[in-house]
Chains A and B, each alone.
Chain A
């Protein structure tokens, strides 16, 4: 086993090996700055023109006891010169800042993958906290991988000694030392990170100096130090991306921006109310900082008040939006019924996490689909959309605003923890290129009652304050012809039918279902929704490269389903539905279309790997 600096050779830049793509994971204590390191490296990689996807994975505890396995925070990035569809199956490189990070992450590494290990944290106390009986470097447990043990802590302290920081603050710069080394490995420029540090720590110049010194030292270490066998420099060409202006975007940012743009296209003020919940709070934070765009945000006293205030705002003529994760959506369901029966536009964001109940708050899952489509008392249909990636969430948010306001209905947008936290390069759109869909508030009293319907069966939206249109709405059943309270049996049938027909009719206002890859008929269709898009896409393309006939169908509009979906699915012998739940979309497809759909299900708090889906596809075709 290579020890620090031994069995080494000098690495010349000329010897850099070219790669198509690589997966790197940083892992350490939640106080080690792992997420920050990851996001800085993401920006560096993006600016170098690579395509990428990231997967931040952190514990629910804010500061779990130092050195424990449950306090480990990780950040994975897959980047390359080809189009990147997922955050990567298995890392090529793991940077582990302590024994606990090694223990919890090394099993995911590729056979023969590289572990850059901070042995400055290697002592009996940390071994014990990580659950190791002794030094894992000496027990033969790491022979599947190449280990590069290096005392990052010592090197960092050495680098920052002239910065004027104390030892504690100096040690906190070790993530930047490691980032410098990884920057060197992949031929990435440290300049953007330096610029970021200078701006972030402009009020703490000593901390800035220490972090920059550590970053540069890590980079210089790669350039000058003797590297052990197998540790070398690589280079990756720019990815073939469509021309234009890019930025990195997370699902959270994308949703927030999409909602603001959607409100603008509808000509509405945006009113956003939510109650803090992991992982959905980030949308509230993002919008609370955008008051200059006329956004009103409201942190309500609970989930019910959050949706209540959004419904009140919708009644008053604003774009009412609420946001939560599964447990909070469950609390909102009664109020959702009110928005459905009073036929008010409302956007409900569900950033799904592992359930049931509190479940695993920081882990991803797709298990709220049934809740979104069916989870209310009474016959209470609404629109359900899903985002497939961070960038896609922008367009889905706009689509949600369009459908909610045109059809006077709540729309649930399903995202998940993965989409919310993950980042990817995003071709920044021109807001002017979106077709506006201005809301026409009713002002004409002639022939008015609150439930008089247009050709889409949508009722009029009236701003309180409009002269001559004062009216009352509520949760009680309404007379079809006047909007007044009615308990008439035939009327209830008629109103229930009208509410259903209105939502069914949305299918005429959305695109027909397209096929992402492959033919429109054949032996096998892989049908997905939400964040499984990336791994399904790549798995299908891998199998197709071998000449096998398999198609990929991805649903953005989940309810109502696209009008041609049934016919499309009936053109395939087999239908495989990978989902991060125990089989929810697959059940819907079977009950809607009587097709022989089968599930591929995983609920481990982590996305599917490409290989898992690829294996399932191959077994269907063999």
Chain B
């Protein structure tokens, strides 16, 4: 049901609701919603078969702006609520949207378990490394030293890496993209959608009011080529303005290292070839951080396994086929019964 193409031609506008968007001017979310609408139009899912579930935060206003079914829930609980939606009707195309505070702090537990179960949800984490809607406090992904109203002398706790966390939770699909990459984002979302099971996508998103430019070290135009590694399955890991750099695996230190092609006899044959199904490689790529390494973008890991919703329904189907005539009156009369014939004097 969820992949049927609607008779009418779908365009990004088909997914635009009548509600006026209330994000700050210049917010990265504008670019993201545009890409999401484009991805859905390209996928061709009937908007009536799509459900967006969100928690609380700037990102979580997302469902109101989509002409699909939508549920704006409570802080952190979107993965749990989406799990119920999907289990109740696995035919629906269910998307979860939340920010870093929502999905990695107050709702970290639900994110972990939705991923662990591998339920067929498309989970989009808009990571801006800050609490926006509550006016700028540091978040669980904020870098050490982040100055904010709650950390005037700079934060002292270490951030969580969203994608390494997801892999630790047992993710079968992780990917990363950047709000402003208008072609890359829809491509990644289409891959996430195609993956049956929990798909976890980190979308780097700039908060123009409380954390503007925090990702400039790898998203700014002048550094992008040198600090972004765009992954393609089966292709060597190359980056740089002229693709002159690459990643090589050093078996002694068991680490990746940045090398330059043509220097010290390095050739393309020395580089690591991207293999989406390699979890060890995926973990190393997910953990790479600028400036020492480029940020890995695209599908980092994809290794499909049976989805939770599928397994749950298969058990129910098996129980039903074993007892096709399951009858409620028989259920109530299971075990020992006895009859009282008549009222006794």
A interface with B by C-beta (< 8 Å): 43, 46-47, 49, 192, 238, 240-248, 257, 260-261, 264, 269, 271, 273, 290-296, 298, 300-302, 304-306, 308-318, 320, 334-335, 337-338, 342, 428-432, 463-476, 484-485
Chain B residues near A476 (CB-CB < 8 A): 72
A518 CB, nearest partner CB in chain B, Å: 24
B72 in contact with A273 (CB, 8 Å): no
* Chain A, residue nearest B317 (CB): A291
Known contacts A271-B87, A292-B326; A247/B1 CB under 8 A: no
Chain B: minimal CB distance from A479 (Å): 11
Query: Which residues of chain B have C-beta atoms less than 8 A from A43's C-beta?
Result: 336
Which 5 residue pairs across A and B have the least CB separation, nearest first?
A312-B84, A474-B72, A308-B80, A309-B84, A291-B319
User: In the complex, which of the residues A47, A316, A431, A470 contacts B336, with contact meaning CB atoms closer than 8 Å?
Assistant: A47
Partner among A428, A465, A475 whose Cβ is within 8 Å of the Cβ of B337: A428
Report A-chain residues with C-beta under 8 Å of the C-beta of B88: 269, 271, 296, 312-314, 316-318, 320
Selected from A294, A298, A472, the residue in CB contact (under 8 A) with B87 is A298
Q: Is B71 an interface residue (CB 8 A)?
A: yes
Q: Which B residues lie within 8 Å of A293 (CB)?
A: 326, 328, 331
CB-CB under 8 A from B338, the residues of chain A are: 46-47, 49, 245-247
A464 and B84 in contact (CB under 8 A), knowing A238-B344, A244-B340, A475-B72?
A: no
Chain B residues with Cβ below 8 Å from A243 are 339-343
The distance in angstroms between the C-alpha atoms of A103 and B113, with both chains bound, is 47
- Chain A residue with the shortest CB-CB distance to B69: A464
Are A431 and B83 interface neighbours, CB within 8 A?
no
Segment 171-203 of B: residues with Cβ below 8 Å from A = none
Cα A314 to Cα B64 with chains together (Å): 19
Contact B316 A291 (CB under 8 A): yes
Query: Which of A192, A244, A247, A472 gathers most chain B CB within 10 Å?
Result: A472
Q: Which of B43-51, B141-149, B238-246, B247-255 contacts A (4 or more CB under 8 A)?
A: B43-51
Which residue of chain B lies nearest to A394 when distances are taken between CB atoms in the complex?
A: B332
Structural contact, B319 and A316, CB atoms closer than 8 A: no
B302 part of interface (Cβ distance < 8 Å): no
* CA of A365 to CA of B109, assembled, Å: 31
A295: nearest chain-B partner, CB-CB = B316
Per-residue contact bits, chain B 81-121, to A (CB 8 Å; 1 contact, 0 not)? 11111111101100000000000000001101100000000
> B113 to A474, Cβ gap below 8 A?
no
Contact between A309 and B80 (Cβ–Cβ < 8 Å)? yes
> Residues 1-19 of chain B: 1 if any A CB is under 8 Å from the residue's CB, otherwise 0?
1000000000000000101
Report yes or no: B72 in contact with A302, Cβ–Cβ below 8 A.
no
- Ordered by A's residue number, 11 sampled pairs between the chains whose C-beta atoms are within 8 Å are A46-B336, A257-B332, A264-B328, A271-B87, A296-B88, A301-B109, A305-B109, A309-B80, A309-B84, A312-B84, A315-B85
Whether A292 contacts B336 by the Cβ 8 Å rule is no
Residues of A within 8 A of B1 (CB): 465
Name the distance in Å between B44's Cβ and chain A's nearest Cβ: 16
Task: Determine the residue in chain A with the shortest Cβ distance to B62.
Answer: A472
> Which B residues between 307 and 345 are near A, CB-CB below 8 angstroms?
312-313, 315-316, 319-320, 322-323, 326, 328-329, 331-333, 335-344
Q: With the chains together, A293 CA to B334 CA distance in Å?
A: 14
Known pairs A271-B87, A290-B331. 4 more at Cβ < 8 A? A238-B340, A311-B81, A470-B67, A475-B73
Give complex CA distance A320, B71 in Å.
16
Please tell me if the beta carbons of A431 and B72 are within 8 angstroms of each other in the complex. Answer: no
Contacts of A474 in B (CB 8 A): 63-64, 70-73
Q: Are A312 and B74 in contact (CB under 8 A)?
A: no
A-B contacts at CB below 8 angstroms, number: 213
Q: Chain B residues near A473: list those with CB within 8 A.
A: 70-72
Residue contact B333 to A247, C-beta cutoff 8 Å = yes
Given A316-B85, A470-B67, A473-B71, is A292 in contact with B80 using a C-beta cutoff of 8 Å? no
CB pair B48 A335 closer than 8 Å: no
CB neighbours (8 Å) of A248 from chain B are: 336
Query: Shortest beta-carbon distance, A55 to chain B, in Å?
Result: 20
Closest to A476 in B: B72
Q: Is the CB of B82 within 8 A of A431?
A: no
Q: B336 — which chain A residues lie within 8 A by C-beta?
A: 43, 46-47, 192, 247-248
CB pair A308 B48 closer than 8 Å: no
Interchain CB contact under 8 A, A475 and B69: no
CA distance A266 to B340 in the complex (A): 31
User: Is B283 located at the chain interface by the 8 A CB criterion?
Assistant: no
Task: Decide if B64 touches A472 in the complex (CB within 8 Å).
Answer: yes
Decide yes or no: A316 and B89 within 8 Å by CB, A247-B335, A260-B328 being known contacts.
yes
Which residue of A is nearest B84, CB measured? A312
Report which of A309, A430, A470 forms a contact with B81, defined as CB distance below 8 A: A309
Contacting pair A472 B63 (CB below 8 A)? yes
Contacts of B71 in A (CB 8 A): 312, 315, 342, 472-474
Q: Are A245 and B91 in contact (CB under 8 A)?
A: no
**B155 interfacial by beta-carbon distance below 8 Å:** no
Q: Which residue from B92, B326, B331 sits with its C-beta under 8 Å from A464?
A: B92
From known contacts A245-B333, A292-B323, A463-B89, infer whether A312 and B81 are also in contact, taking CB-CB under 8 Å.
yes
Query: In chain B, what residue has the closest Cβ to A338?
Result: B74
Knowing A308-B81, A431-B329, A474-B64, the reply to whether A465 touches B339 (Cβ < 8 A) is: no
Cβ-defined contact, A292 with B319, below 8 A = yes
* Most chain A CB atoms below 10 A, which of B68, B73, B312: B73
In the complex formed, the residue of A with least CB distance to B329 is: A431
B85/A301 in contact, CB under 8 A? no
Residue with the greatest number of chain B CB neighbours at <10 A, chosen from A271, A312, A474, A475: A312
Bound CA span A320–B328, Å? 20
